[in-house]
Homo-oligomer: A and B are copies of this chain.
């Protein structure tokens, strides 16, 4: 007969691309007893989560709720609702998640024009215009914070391009929601999805999505039914709205956790949360640079919650990560796709965005690199202290 041992995971310091560590209050919320998914108390909680997501996304959109799946489920949900077979989609691809956007749009049957860019640089509005070649598109989709490269996109500038193309603007906000400025309404983003396991400091398993009124009108005007039932946002919306029409059994404890994560976000203040992430990221950048490590992305295009660091020549990058995990119980990420083996990805997200982690990861990296004979150009701490003094 099968028998399993109890799982007793050690405490990790999670400074990779996500999941980030959960806030302790969020872990406590996860362990609260189950309510029925149609219990009046749970329905109230759902309303609070919707209100919280609207505030976090900075939108008045009626449609704002979590999909019961991970960030990729949110990506698929937005695309499968907005796109029909043979619709034209212009997709920015300068990293792993941009490529995934293009792939899912193709699966839905859209005619996809990829706008290819260097991994580690932002695509410009002119890159988009050139690739569009004067044609019209149903959507312009791109990644706001490209977790594979550490690049942030200028969504407000992309809105102007989308207007020229007659397109809805779709943005992947998995790594940016709650971690750096994101203005769904002010920037005119029509469709967005996010993750909970990054800057919100909740566990993975939900994907907050939002659609503008214009995007909803486009869904209502579809000529063909949505091929997915699970991701049919009109049905999910009926469940999350006052209709309470049964669609699926919400993952109750994940909703508790998201609610608690949002509560902590507003306790801190959204702008304060963004500033905290920026302060610690800048200190990290200063320290890494001072040590003599090169950052992949120019500062103006750099994602705040996740930093890509070039692996110095001759260094076995996987051995560095193993060293950090084994000696410090500290996780950072390796590269994905064409950056595999060439970068590390250091995330300072949610509860993990704090000074103790900045100084610890620098200290641990020095030890891991020294173990392979690489010597830091200088002690990073004075630069870190200076960054905090100026913050």
Contact = CB atoms under 8 A, between A and B. Distances in A.
Nearest to A16: B36
Interface string A331-374: 10000100000000000000000000000000000000000000
A336 B245 CA distance: 11
Number of copies: 2
Contact of A39 (B6, B12, B18): B12
A238 to B, nearest CB: 14
A14 B33 CA distance: 10
A34 B24 CA distance: 11
Contacts of A253: 22, 27, 30, 203, 205, 253, 257
Given A103-B229, A253-B30, A14 B36 contact: yes
A391 to B, nearest CB: 23
Given A69-B230, A203-B251, 11 more contacts: A1-B269, A3-B266, A7-B32, A9-B35, A31-B31, A72-B247, A76-B228, A203-B254, A205-B254, A227-B227, A227-B228
A331 B19 contact: no
Contact of A9 (B19, B52, B197, B256): B256
Contacts of A131: none
A281 interface: no
A108 interface: yes
Interface string A157-181: 0000000000000000000000000
A217 interface: no
